[in-house]
Amino acid sequence: MGGTLFFLGKILSDHWQSVIAIRVDAAGWACLAIALGITLLAHICAGWVWSQMLQRDFRQPVQGTWMIQAYLQATIAKYLPGNIWHYYGRISAATQSGASLETAAVSVLLEPLLMAAAALLVALLSSQVIAARYGFPALALQWLVLVGVLMSIHPRVLNPLIQVVAKLKQTAQPGLATSNPVHLTRYPLIPLLGELGFLVLRSGGFLLTFLAIASFTSDQLPMLISAFSLAWLLGLVVPGAPGGVGVFEATAIALLGPQFSPGLLLGVVALYRLVSVLAEACGAGLAWLDQRIPS
């Protein structure tokens, strides 16, 4: 966190004049409003994917609409120190809705893996650009990580790992009553496609935020989407950064620096962070209100 904040602070000190010169016109505000709506829709999509995964893949008696609302309310907790409280909130919501604790925990652990696979798949849109700029080893590494993630969520790999953890838990607590073991019945292809939709929507929100400040060509579009996906992925997996704050911004600026000015990129990532936080806050607030409106 300290390193990324230092990196961003150095860019701001060197290019602050370019940042304060950025102006958003009426068309730009319209783009930001649409980006806010698309980002909110992306979070609703992610909540739906999670609820469907619990219902269809893990056969849990949860209520879909309530789970989406709980997902939206828990998402905002990722900005708390520790970067784990949104996971805790989702596990708690799933168990309150009728899912077993073990199944809720596995579903919450499986979701980031699906998101990581989706982000890598979206990033491969500009595989030729990645190979040309960073060399074939960088592209091969991306494919290797993608294959590893896709294999890790296969039932033949995941189910034995779950059984080992269950046996260790039973050994550590021999008096604990046994429950139905968690079992993934099929490869989570539908949830993976759903997370792809989530990443496409998030990418659309980023592109609209970029468009609110500056234009880009169709040739630059694949690189923008790829850089966003990789930056978002690092913000997801790097520990110690609540909500990926700092990590996402620093990675996006580093990846897109050769094509765009640092001042412009700093303005874009700052605006997108604002749009993202507002969308998450709106989602949590709307879900909270909907739960309290009499049916």
Q: Is residue 132 part of a domain?
A: yes
Instruction: List all residues 6 or more positions away from 254 whose beta carbon is below 8 Å from its beta carbon.
Output: none
The Cα–Cα gap between 64 and 34 comes to 26
Total tally of structural domains belonging to the chain = 1
Greater confidence, 246 or 28?
28
Q: How confident is the model over 41-56, as pLDDT tens digits?
A: 999 999 999 999 999 8
Tell me the residue type at 28. G
Q: Please name which of 2, 10, 56 lies closest in space to residue 254, comparing C-alpha atoms.
A: 10
Mean pLDDT of 136-153: 84
Instruction: Flag whether pLDDT at 6 surpasses 80.
Output: no
Q: Is the pLDDT of residue 177 over 60?
A: no
What average pLDDT score do residues 56-76 get?
90
Rounded-to-integer distance, Cα 261 and Cα 269, Å = 12
pLDDT class of 243 with cuts at 50, 70, 90: confident
pTM, full prediction:
0.87
Kindly report the average pLDDT of the chain as a whole number: 83
At 19, phi and psi to the nearest 5? -70, -45
159 confidence band (pLDDT: 50, 70, 90): confident
**pLDDT at residue 257 above 90?**
no
164 close to 85: Cβ distance less than 8 angstroms:
no
Give the pLDDT confidence score for residue 168 in this predicted structure: 61
What tokens were used for 62? 């949860």
Query: Do the domain assignments include residue 169?
Result: yes
Residue 78's pLDDT is 86
Among 55-59, 120-124, 182-186, 228-232, the least confident range: 182-186
The amino acid present at 190, given as its one-letter code, is I
Domain span at 219: 2-173+180-290
Structure tokens at 180: 């139905």
**Best-predicted range by mean pLDDT (1-5, 45-49, 122-126, 218-222):** 45-49
Q: Is residue 295 part of a domain?
A: no
C-alpha triplet 24, 29, 35: angle, nearest 5°: 120
Please, what's the b/e burial string for 57-93 (b: 16 or more CB within 10 A of its CB; e: otherwise)?
Answer: bbebebeeebbbbbbbbbbbbbbeeebebbbebbbeb
Q: If pLDDT is split at 50, 70 and 90, which confidence band does 33 have?
A: very high
